[in-house]
Amino acid sequence: MKIIASLLIGALGAMALAQPVEDVRYRPGKFKVAWIPSPNYNSRPEDALVDTIILHHTAGPTTSSCVRWFENPESQVSAHYVVGKDGSIIQMVMPFYRAWHAGVSKDARGKEGLNNFTIGIEIVHTGDPAEAYPDDQVMAVRLLCGYLCRIKYRNQIVQILSHEFIAVPPGRKPDPINYPWDSLNDLADEFGITMMHGRSDKGTVVRLPQKAN
Ligand SMILES: [Zn+2]
């Protein structure tokens, strides 16, 4: 009986091990930050003024699938931060360095190669237009943007842009689809930040910071 019991426990243990368990590192918890380095980064140009935040959606369902992709040297992509649906924040590249998230890109000032002077935030979302962004996730993005506006990586942040807005050619990227940009309004006003999203050649939304009377 004892032998059968131990065999059973052994079998259950093996079954538990066989289940795909999401690594706890990928979900530090609401508004908490974990550091999981990506090998996919390099130096910014000597004269780069880091003054822009780019928001993305991951086009995948989980934090771990995105983080694992950015951990893989073969992917040749990364972002400085990944924000999970539970409000977890994974930092993968130091903002001092150049992450690889923007691709061929241009901003409204005509500056190209946005990886050089931007901080990239990936928001976990499948890209389904009907999928909502949970409140904890939206708040985590807001907290992260607020933090990046307060500390300065070579320069003050002056604009927050969607990947969709900067992608060249226009229409190459849709992300972050249907993001609630209003959640950043008070932050944009406080720090004098312009927000631009939508396609750069049509349907563009430009929100200039409001001055308090
Ligand atoms: Zn993107």
CATH of residue 139's domain is: 3.40.80.10
CA of 107 to the centre of ligand 1 (A): 14
Strand, helix or coil at 154? coil
Q: What is the reported pLDDT for 176?
A: 98
Q: Under a CB-based contact definition with an 8 Å cutoff, are residues 84 and 63 in contact? A: yes
Q: What is the reported pLDDT for 3?
A: 57
Tell me which residue range forms the domain holding 64: 23-207
CA of 60 to the centre of ligand 1 (A): 12
Q: What is the reported pLDDT for 11?
A: 56
CA of 103 to the centre of ligand 1 (A): 9
Q: Is residue 150, in this structure, part of any structural domain at all?
A: yes
CA of 54 to the centre of ligand 1 (A): 8
- What is the Cα–Cα distance from 148 to 94, expressed in whole angstroms? 12
Q: Under a CB-based contact definition with an 8 Å cutoff, are residues 90 and 144 in contact? A: no
Beta bridge partners of residue 34, listed in sequence order: 90
CA of 55 to the centre of ligand 1 (A): 7
Q: Is residue 94, in this structure, part of any structural domain at all?
A: yes
Q: Is residue 17, in this structure, part of any structural domain at all?
A: no
pLDDT tens, residue order, the chain (213 aa): 555 555 555 555 555 555 555 677 899 999 999 999 999 999 999 999 999 999 999 999 999 999 999 999 999 999 999 999 999 999 999 999 999 999 999 999 999 999 999 999 999 999 999 999 999 999 999 999 999 999 877 789 999 999 999 999 999 999 999 999 999 999 999 999 999 999 999 889 999 999 865
Q: Under a CB-based contact definition with an 8 Å cutoff, are residues 77 and 115 in contact? A: no
Q: What is the reported pLDDT for 25?
A: 82
- What is the Cα–Cα distance from 143 to 114, expressed in whole angstroms? 23
Q: Is residue 202, in this structure, part of any structural domain at all?
A: yes
Q: Under a CB-based contact definition with an 8 Å cutoff, are residues 123 and 68 in contact? A: no
Q: Is residue 15, in this structure, part of any structural domain at all?
A: no
Number of domains in the chain: 1
Q: Is residue 197, in this structure, part of any structural domain at all?
A: yes
Q: What is the reported pLDDT for 15?
A: 52
